[in-house]
Amino acid sequence: MSAHPVVRRAVRALSAAVLALAATLLTGGPAHADFGSDYHNPITAAKPLTRPDTKACTVEVMHDQQFRNGYGNPPDTPYAASLTPPADCAGPWSKVVLDLHGSVAGRQFDRLFTVRVGGYEVMMSSTPEPSQDGIEWHAERDVTRYAPVLNTPQPFEFDLPNVTDSTYTGVFHVSATFTFYTASAAWPAARTADRLLTTGAFTLTQGAPSTAKDLVFPQNLESLTAEVYARGGGACEEFAYASAPDAFVQANPGLGYCGKGPFRELRLSVDGRVAGAVWPYPVIYTGGWDPLLWRPTPGIFAFDLPAYQVDLTPYVGLLLDGRPHSVSIAVNQAESQSNDAWTGQVNLFATVDHGSARTTGGLTQYQVAPEAAVGTALTDQGGGSGRWTVTASRHDLARGWVQTSHGRVTTEVRGDLTFRSGQQLKDRGNDLTLHNGAELTWTTASWGGGPHRVHTVHESEPLEVTYRVSQDAAGNSDQRTAMDLGYHRTDTTATGAHVAAYSSVDHTLRPTAHRHNGDATVRTGSSAETYRSTDADGSYSRTITTVDGWPTP
Predicted confidence (pLDDT) at residue 10 exceeds the cutoff of 50: no
Mean pLDDT to the nearest integer, 415-428: 95
User: Could you give the CA distance from residue 231 to residue 125 in angstroms, rounded to a whole number?
Assistant: 10
Stretch 29-33: mean pLDDT: 44
Could you count the other beta carbons within 10 Å of the beta carbon of residue 371? 13
385-404 and 360-367 beta bridge pairing: antiparallel
d(CA 337, CA 357): 50
- 14: amino acid identity, one letter: L
Task: Of 450, 547, 529, give the one whose Cα is nearest residue 483.
Answer: 529
Domains defined along the chain, listed by start: 51-190 (2.60.120.230), 193-552 (no CATH)
Beta pairing partners, 506 = 488, 532
Which of 417, 413, 499 is CA-nearest to residue 459? 417
pLDDT at position 34:
76
Segments of 38-171 assigned E as strands = 56-67, 79-83, 93-104, 112-117, 120-126, 135-142, 154-159
Amino acid at position 434, single letter: L
Do the beta carbons of residue 111 and residue 135 sit within 8 Å? Answer: no
CA distance 497 to 437: 32
Is 436's pLDDT higher than 60? yes
In 3D space, the residue among 464, 514, 468 whose CA is nearest the CA of residue 485 turns out to be 464
CA distance 487 to 502: 17
Asked if 3 and 9 count as a contact pair (C-beta separation under 8 A), the reply is: no
- Residue 286 scores a pLDDT above 90: yes
Percent of the chain with pLDDT over 70: 94
Q: What residue ranges in 189-272 does DSSP mark as E strands?
A: 195-204, 210-215, 221-233, 266-270
Please write the tens of the pLDDT for every residue from 474-490.
999 999 999 999 999 99
Distances (CA, A) of 5 to 69, 168, 201, 359: 10, 11, 21, 50
DSSP code string of 320-343: -SSS-EEEEEEES----STT-EEE
Provide the mean pLDDT of the chain: 93
Bridge partners, 198 (sequence order): 347
CA separation for the pair 46, 511 (Å, rounded): 16
**pLDDT(30) > 50:** no
The predicted-structure confidence for 220-246, as pLDDT tens digits, reads as follows: 999 999 999 999 999 999 999 999 999
Identify whether the C-beta of residue 544 lies closer than 8 Å to the C-beta of residue 44: yes
- The answer to whether the peptide bond before residue 291 is cis (omega within 30 degrees of 0) is no
Average pLDDT over residues 209-228: 98
CA 229 to chain centre: 7
Q: What is the mean pLDDT of residues 100-120?
A: 97
Give the residue among 134, 168, 242 at the shortest CA–CA distance from 6.
Answer: 168
CA 545 and chain centroid, separation: 24
Rounded CA-CA distance 263/461 in Å is 13
Tell me the average pLDDT across 192-196: 98
Distance between CA atoms of 262 and 322, rounded to whole angstroms? 41
pLDDT, residue 446, reads 97
Strand 453-471, strand 431-447: pairing: antiparallel
Contact 340, 258 (CB under 8 A): no
Q: Taking Cα atoms as reference points, which of 257, 270, 163, 167 lies closest to residue 221?
A: 270
| DSSP symbols for 289-323 | S-GGGGSSSPPTTTTS--EEEEE-GGGGGGS-SSS
CA 274 → CA 192, 200, 330, 367, distances in Å?
26, 19, 10, 10
What pLDDT does residue 202 have?
A: 97
What would the mean pLDDT of 122-140 be, rounded to a whole number?
96
Can you tell me the mean pLDDT for 124-145? 97
* Separation between Cα atoms, residue 546 and residue 526, nearest integer Å: 5
Give the CA dihedral 27, 29, 34, 38, nearest 10 degrees: 110
* pLDDT for residue 21: 33
Q: What is the pLDDT of residue 36?
A: 80
CA nearest to 423, candidates 398, 391, 469, 395: 391
What is the predicted pLDDT for the residue at 22?
36
**How far are the Cα atoms of 216, 316, 318, 362, 366 from residue 219, in angstroms, in the given order?**
9, 10, 10, 13, 22
**Quick one: pLDDT at residue 208?**
95
Which of 277, 374, 373 is closest to 330 using CA atoms? Answer: 277
d(CA 349, CA 197): 7
3 state SS of 348? strand
> In this predicted structure, what is the pLDDT of residue 7?
29
Query: How confident is the model at residue 33, as a pLDDT?
Result: 56
User: What is the β-pairing status of strands 266-270 and 273-278?
Assistant: antiparallel
Contact predicate 145/84, CB 8 Å: no
